[in-house]
Structure 1
Amino acid sequence: MLTFDEIFGEARIMAILRGLPPDETVALAERLWDAGVTVLEVPLASPHGLDALRATAVAATARNRTIGAGTVLTPDQVRAAADAGARYTVAPGLDLTVLAAALHAGLPHLPGVATATEVATATAAGCRWLKAFPAGALGPGWISALRGPFPDVRFVATGGLSATDVPTFLAAGASVVALGSALGDPAALANWL
């Protein structure tokens, strides 16, 4: 099983390819890979989500890349994501049954957290990488504050962020910043590729 240390490597940006049909998702993934963005997530929440994930996983394999499934809320979605070729799963919250299903499927899982209690619960369950969600509402100060008692945790700031937020969240201690709708601003994003 891959680890998030291996998946993220030196990456500081994670792209969330949300709500697009499969062909458009693959085309955007190809452009991002060409631009140097190596960590991509395809959320399952849209009507096209699973098909887009499956198509992007084929493209990822051809380019020796990994792709993850986002908005994974149930053990059944974990299994569907694994069958579609996802190499990791991401969730907006911390659900230990989803975490267990992901680990059973051989997929590292990135659960969302928004409180110190959730961070403590996730780390007790073996998670070192956590999704700070919704980071836009939590703010960079939340990450700075939580890094104090949890210095070994690696946060992926996600939710409501723009490309101009990247330096602030990285300076606050986020290891990675995830961008979804901000991908529509290529000029601002170019500074972080």
Structure 2
Amino acid sequence: MVDFATIFDRTPVMAILRGYTADRSVELARTAWDLGIACVEVPVQSPEAVESLAAVVEAAAGRDVVIGAGTVTTSERVARSLAAGAQFTVAPGFDAAVAAESEAAGLPHLPGVATPSEVGAAMAHGYTWLKAFPASLLTPAWLAAIAGPFPQARLVCTGGIDSHNARAFLDAGARGVAVGSALESPEQLPALATLVGRGAGR
């Protein structure tokens, strides 16, 4: 079973492939893997997106990588993610029932939070690995503020992250950051590769 600590200790960067065709999702996943990004999330907000997830899972066969499903906000999406071969699930917010269903299906869940109340609620249900979303609006200063009352929280920042601002979030205490469209920007790829290298020996 996927362990978030193992994933983000290996590399602090995750790729999110939202809204792409199956073929394009596979292309971008391979770009991520070539950079050393071993964790890829494919949001499953539509039937076409589930097909993209399944295609990435198939392309990942034989690689030492993990593939998750994002935007998992309903029981139906948990089931679809499992059937498509996802190894974990991610949500933009915290729904205790959906999180429990995902865990029961053998899919570790990364719930989204944006306020101290949401952090507290998720942690009260046993979740210490959390998705800070939308990170670009929360800012790195938010991470530092949250660390005071919730030192056990392990935050993965997503939403508006690219090679230009990712390091600020990591330096502020994020255990991981997620990038999407940055993978389509050739000038950002070298910087992303440098960020990936931060994971070694952390």
Q: TM-score, normalised by structure 1?
A: 0.95
1:153-164 aligned at under 5 Å gives the runs: 153-164=153-164
Counterpart of 1:123 in 2: which secondary structure? helix
For the Cα contact (< 8 Å) 1:14–1:39, is it kept in 2?
yes
User: CA separation in 1, counterparts of 2:25 and 2:35?
Assistant: 15
| Residue 6, structure 1, aligned to residue 21, structure 2 | no
* Percentage of identical aligned residues: 49
Aligned mates of 2:38, 2:15 — CA distance in 1: 8
SS at match of 1:23: helix
Of stretches 114-123 and 62-71 in structure 1, the one that deviates more from structure 2 is 62-71
Secondary structure of the 1:141 match is helix
Higher normalized contact order (CA 8 Å, seq sep 6+, divided by chain length)? 2
Tell me what 2:42 maps to. Answer: 42
Map of 2:136 onto structure 1: 136
- The match for 1:106 is 106
- Matched position secondary structure for 1:61: coil
Q: Distance in 1 between matches of 2:38 and 2:187?
A: 18
Report if the CA contact (8 A) 1:18-1:46 is conserved.
Answer: no
Structure-2 separation of matches of 1:23 and 1:15: 16
Corresponding residue of 2:57? 57
Within a 5 Å distance, the mapping from 1:80-99 to structure 2 comes to 80-99=80-99
Tell me by how many angstroms 1:151 deviates.
1.2
Q: Report the alpha carbon displacement of residue 165 of structure 1 after superposing the two structures with TM.
A: 0.5
Runs (4+) of structure 1 exceeding 3 A deviation are none
Structure 1 spans left out of the alignment, 5+ residues: none
Q: Find the aligned partners of 2:180 and 2:2 in 1 and give their Cα distance.
A: 24
Paired residues in the alignment total 193
User: Does the 8 A contact of 2:41 with 2:68 survive in 1?
Assistant: yes
| Letter of the structure 2 residue corresponding to residue 7 of structure 1 | I
Find the aligned partners of 2:39 and 2:92 in 1 and give their Cα distance. 17
RMSD: 1.3
Instruction: Give the whole-Å Cα distance in 2 for the aligned partners of 1:9 and 1:186.
Output: 26
Deviations 1:11-34 (A, max 9, x none): 111110111111111121112111
Could you say if the C-alpha distance between residues 76 and 46 of structure 1 is closer, same or farther in structure 2, counting changes exceeding 3 Å? closer
| Structure 1 range deviating more: 174-183 or 164-173 | 174-183
Match status 1:66 vs 2:98 = no
TM-score, length-scaled by structure 2:
0.91
- Residue 168 of structure 2: aligned partner: 168
